[in-house]
Chains A and B, each alone.
Chain A
Amino acid sequence: QVVLVESGGGVVQPGRSLRLSCAASGFAFETSAMHWVRQAPGKGLEWVAVTSFDGSKEFHADSVKGRFTISRDNSKNMVSLEMSDLRREDTAVYFCVRATTTVTFQDWGQGTLVTV
C-alpha cells in the first residue's frame, strides 16, 4: 500500500531554515506528482507546493514563494521541502501528498510539525 513518511520537523527560530523530507513507498513514485500541504494549529488546509513527476516543473503558493523550494529525488523515492526565512505564520503540520492522474490529493502522510 501507499506509505508516505514525513520527517524533519521541529522547533526553529524565526528567520532560520529547515528541510523537510518525505519517504515514499508502495507506488510508482517516478510517475507521480507530489505536493506539500500544511495546516496551522486549529486551522484549515493550505496547499504549499507541487513538483511534477520528473521534477521538471515546480509551483509554490504565493505565501511561500521565494522562501520555500520543493524538490525530489526519484532514485531515492524522496520529496523535500527546503524552507528558509521562516516566519511564525509558517507554524503548521506539513503533509506530503501523492497525486494521481485523476485526484490531486490522493494519499497523505501523517505529517510533521514545524514550530517557528
Chain B
Amino acid sequence: SYELTQPPSVSVAPGQTARITCSGDDLPNQYSYWFQQKPGQAPLLVISRDTARPSGIPERFSGSTSGATVTLTISGVQAEDEAVYYCQSADNTDSYFWVFGGGTKLTV
C-alpha cells in the first residue's frame, strides 16, 4: 500500500524556520496537501496542491516539492504554530484512495 513518510518530531526556537518533510514514491505524480492539527481540534488545511496557501493562512507557511519529497516550511515560527502537521496525497490510478503521512509534532 502507498505510504507517506514524515519525521515524528521537529523542534525549533521561536522566530526560526521549521521544515517538515514528507516522502512518497508517487508524490511526483500527485498533488500534496498539508494540514495543521491542534489538540482537540479538527485538521486545518494550510497548504494546497503542493504550494498554494489557502485564504487566511499566514504567509509564513509555504510548500515546496523536489522529486519524491515535499516540504512544509514555516518561516519565523510562532508559539501558536505548535501542532501536529500531516501531509496528504492520493492514489487515483489503479484505485481510489487517499493517504496521510504519520504526522510530525512541531515543538516551538
Contact = CB atoms under 8 A, between A and B. Distances in A.
Interface residues of A, number: 19
A45 B43 contact: yes
Given A44-B86, A45-B103, A59 B97 contact: yes
B98 to A, nearest CB: 4
A10 B72 CA distance: 36
A111 B96 contact: no
A106 B45 CA distance: 7
Contacts of A44: 86, 100-103
Interface in B31-78: 33, 35, 37, 42-45, 48-49, 54
Interface string A27-41: 000000001000000
B48 A103 contact: yes
B49 to A, nearest CB: 6
Given A44-B86, A45-B100, A104-B90, A62 B1 contact: yes
Contact of A47 (B35, B98, B101): B98
Contacts of B88: 45, 104-105
B95 interface: yes
A50 interface: yes
Interface in A58-116: 59, 61-62, 95, 102-106, 108-111
B33 to A, nearest CB: 7
B99 interface: yes
B48 A59 contact: no
Interface of B: 1, 33, 35, 37, 42-45, 48-49, 54, 86, 88, 90, 95-103
15 contacts: A35-B98, A45-B88, A47-B97, A47-B98, A59-B96, A62-B97, A95-B42, A102-B49, A103-B48, A103-B54, A104-B88, A104-B98, A106-B45, A110-B42, A111-B42
Interface of A: 35, 44-47, 50, 59, 61-62, 95, 102-106, 108-111
